[in-house]
Amino acid sequence: MKKQDFIKIAVIVCVLAGSVLLIDRIGAVRWREESQIVRDAVKRAALTCYAVEGAYPDSLDYLKENYHLSYDEENYFVTYSAFASNMAPDIYVVERGADGR
């Protein structure tokens, strides 16, 4: 094998590896953005409830039923932990099947 052929193969391998890393990085950014959108929607619904009713709701189901909260439940798992009716709840969003990103 000539030195030029080896260099061409090395360049192609580097370009392919870089492409794979870039695609993975873009996927991680997309996941973070979508998770943040879901979290913001839950937070906004809880704040609306607080403004209208004077208390944060006890459950996520209450927000779904009374404030039309919706999100892709097949892809995201949301935990909603309300400590007291006058304290903002803890909201966590996890992508189902997340691979550690």
- Residue 69 CA to residue 83 CA, distance in Å, equals 20
Q: What is the DSSP letter of 88?
A: P
* pLDDT classification of 96: cutoffs 50, 70, 90: confident
What is the distance between the alpha carbons of residues 46 and 64, in angstroms, rounded to a whole number?
A: 10
Phi, psi of 58 (to 5 degrees): -75, -25
- pLDDT tens figures, 42-61: 999 999 999 999 999 999 99
Q: 15 by DSSP, 3-state: which? A: helix
Which pLDDT score is estimated for 100?
Answer: 43
Instruction: Give the global pTM.
Output: 0.67
Could you report the per-residue pLDDT of 71-92, keeping only the tens digit for each? 999 989 999 999 898 999 999 9
